[in-house]
Amino acid sequence: MTLPTEQEQMAALRAAYPTPDDLVSRMYRELDAFEAVIRAAAPHWNTVQPGREWTPAQELEHAIIINEGTGRLVRLLRSDKEIRQPPQVPGEYRSGKRQAPATTIPAGDQTPEQLLERHAATRDLLAVAAPADPGRTFYHPFMGQLDALDWLRMAAYQTRHHRQAVERGLAALSGSKDMR
């Protein structure tokens, strides 16, 4: 299996979310859908999803951890504060799938209400119009140097990805074909 290059992945993200305004609009819709999935997941909260390694509680918490970090990072990139780059350590893949960095591994011990609260706190950080600014970037372990706009594109994509994974897991756990 040949994995797409950073450039191919970035081109796909930019095509999916072409402008800052489009991204804000779609981010709001995605955050709303994510909230609905947190609520829908309660009956199977601590059950490992078929074909996945995590429970809905873990999967949703992981996405929120990433969104919290991305929100703080976007705020920094949009400011005039100094940016200290992390070590540029590439992310790891297993069986063609990105592996969660250690700092984003969920405990899975929070209730739906606790995750709803954390999720609500990320909305204003993620649903912002950020212009492209190649002069202010921060290293992403799978995508290289990204500016605030590209970090927001990644957040929209990963929120959607994990939401859909939980939707599929919940559908399988409840015996239905699809949650949508």
Q: Which tens digits make up the pLDDT trace of 137-153?
A: 999 999 999 999 999 99
- Confidence band (pLDDT; 50, 70, 90) for 180? very low
Q: Two tokens at 36?
A: 């609905």
Indicate the residue type of 162: H
- Confidence band (pLDDT; 50, 70, 90) for 158? very high
Q: Which tens digits make up the pLDDT trace of 77-120?
A: 999 999 999 999 988 988 888 888 888 999 999 999 999 999 99
Q: Two tokens at 90?
A: 């590439």
Q: What is the chain's mean pLDDT, rounded?
A: 93
Q: Report whether 56 contacts 162 (CB < 8 A).
A: no
- Confidence band (pLDDT; 50, 70, 90) for 172? very high
Q: 19-30 burial, b for 16+ CB within 10 Å, e for fewer?
A: ebeebbebbeeb
Q: Which tens digits make up the pLDDT trace of 37-60?
A: 999 999 999 999 998 999 999 999
Q: What is the pLDDT of residue 177?
A: 54
